[in-house]
Structure 1
Amino acid sequence: MFRQLYSALTSENTVNQAYEDLTRMLQHGAWMFARANEVLYSTVAAEEVREPLYERDRAVNDLERSIRRKVLRHLTVNPGHDVAICLALMSVAKDAERIGDYCKNVFEVGAFYTEGFHVPKYQQPLDAMAERLTAMFELLVAATRDSDEAKAHGVIAEAKGIRGEGDRLVEELLRESEAVEFHEAVAYSLLARHYKRVASHLANIATAVIGRLEDLDFYPEGDDSALD
C-alpha cells in the first residue's frame, strides 16, 4: 500500500524517487548489520570492516537528506497535498537512518569486547535474534520494493517476538545469581538492547508499508519499545 500511495503522489515521480532512496537505505542497513555481526563473531577483523561500514552509514545519512529534499520539493510545488504521506515517508526515513546507528553500535560491541561469549543461555538467544533480524531485513526490503503487505505483517510479528526476547534477556541478566564476567554481561545486555531497537525500527517501517500511518511510532501502553 505504501508504494501505491507514493505512486499516486506526483506525475513527476519526485516522491517515488524518495521511495527508491528508502529501499536503498534498507539495503545498506542489511549490509551493515551483516558486517557488524561478522565482527561480533570474530569471523572478520574489526579494522577490515570499520571504514566500509562507516562509509555505508554516511551513504545512509545522505539518502535520508535526499528524501527530505524530495519531499519538501514535492510539498513546495503541491502545497497542502499528500502531507500525511510525505510526513510518513520522512518519519520512516529517520527509522532507516537510526538502524544504521544501531548497526554501528553492534559493530562497536564486537570491536571493543574481544573475550568471547561463554554463557549459552544468553549467547544462543542472541544468536537466534541476529538470525531473525537478518531475515527481517530481507523481508522488509522485499515488502517495500514490491508493496507486499503480507511480508510487512511478517516483519511486524517478528519484531514483537524479538522485542520481548530482548526484554527477557536483560531482566534475566539483572536477576542472575551465578557469576557472569562483568564485561561479558555488559556485552550481552548491549546486544539485547541494540537488536531490540533494530527490530523496532524495522517494524515501524513495515507499519507504513501496510498503510497504518496513524500507528507510526506508537506502541501499546506497557510496551517500552518506543523508538529513540
Structure 2
Amino acid sequence: MNFFNFLTGSRPPLVDRAINELGEMLDTADMMFAAATNCLLDNEGLHIDLAELDEQINKGEMTVRRSVLEHMVSDPKVETSFSLLLVSIVQDAERCGDLAKSIAKASDLAVGPRMGRHVDALRPIRDRVLATFPRVRRSFIVGDAGVGRAIMQEHSQTKADVADFLKDLASADDVTSNEAVVLSVSSRMIGRTSSHLSNIISAVALPFDQVRNSPS
C-alpha cells in the first residue's frame, strides 16, 4: 500500500495548504533549473534572479513545515503519517533550488562558450530531468503511483547516463581542463536534481518505510 492510500479524499485545510505550497516550490525550482541549464548548455544569459527565487523556495519550505505543525497540533489523529511525509520530502524540493543555483555558479567558472559533442551529450539528460518537474508536481498531487514508478525508473536511467557521460569526459582529449571541470560538476548536479525529484515522487510509488530511498 503506497502512502496516498492513507488519504481520506478530503484533505484537512492545513495539509492541503502544505501540498499546494510544495507544488509552488517545484514550479519555482523548475524555472530555476531551466534558466541555469540554458546558461550552461546554450550559453544564454541569466534573466532571472536565482537567489531571490531560491529564497522563495526556502520560505515555501518553512510554510510547509509550519502548516504541518499547526495541523498536527490541532488535529493530530488525522493524516498524521502523510504530514510526516510532507516534512520529509519538502527538503528535496528545497534542494532542487540550491542545485539550480550551483549549476549557474559552475557555468560562471567557464572561460568560454560551452559547445561541442560533450555539451550535446549532456543536453538530452538535462531535457529528461527538466521534463520531470511538471510530471512530479501533477503526479504527487493526484497520487498517481504508476507515473511515480515510471519517473523513478527514469531516474535510474539518468543516473546511468550521467555515469557514462563522466566516464567519457574523463578520458576525452578534446576538452580543456576548464571545460571538463564545468561539465563534470554540472552533470553531477543535474543527476542530483533527478535524485531529489525521484525522492519526492517516491511518496506515491512506495510504501512509507521506503520513501526517499531513491538511488543517488
Q: Are the equivalent residues in 1 in contact too, given 2:43–2:114 (CA < 8 A)?
A: no
Separation of aligned partners in 2, 1:69 and 1:115 = 45
Aligned amino acid, residue 97 of structure 2: G
| TM-superposed deviation, 1:22 | 0.7
**Partner residue, 2:32:** 32
Percent of counterpart pairs with the same letter?
25
| TM-superposed deviation, 1:157 | 1.5
Q: Are the equivalent residues in 2 in contact too, given 1:3–1:144 (CA < 8 A)?
A: no
Unaligned runs of 5+ in 2: none
Please say which of residues 165-174 and 198-207 is displaced more in the overlay.
165-174
Q: Are the equivalent residues in 1 in contact too, given 2:14–2:68 (CA < 8 A)?
A: yes
Whose RCO is larger (CA < 8 A, sep 6+)? 2
Separation of aligned partners in 2, 1:64 and 1:83 = 18
1:123 corresponds to which of 119, 122, 127? 119
Unaligned runs of 5+ in 1: none
2:205 corresponds to which of 171, 188, 210? 210
**Partner residue, 1:170:** 166
Equivalent residues, number: 215
Q: Are the equivalent residues in 2 in contact too, given 1:9–1:15 (CA < 8 A)?
A: no
Separation of aligned partners in 2, 1:152 and 1:117 = 33
Separation of aligned partners in 2, 1:99 and 1:77 = 31
Q: Secondary structure at the match of 1:41?
A: helix
Q: Are the equivalent residues in 2 in contact too, given 1:34–1:134 (CA < 8 A)?
A: yes
| TM-superposed deviation, 1:138 | 1.9
Q: 1:218 to 1:118 in 2, by over 3 A?
A: same
Aligned amino acid, residue 17 of structure 1: R
Q: 1:127 to 1:42 in 2, by over 3 A?
A: closer
Separation of aligned partners in 1, 2:143 and 2:211 = 17
Q: 1:142 to 1:98 in 2, by over 3 A?
A: same
CA RMSD of aligned residues (A): 2.3
| TM-superposed deviation, 1:179 | 5.0
2:195 corresponds to which of 200, 207, 212? 200
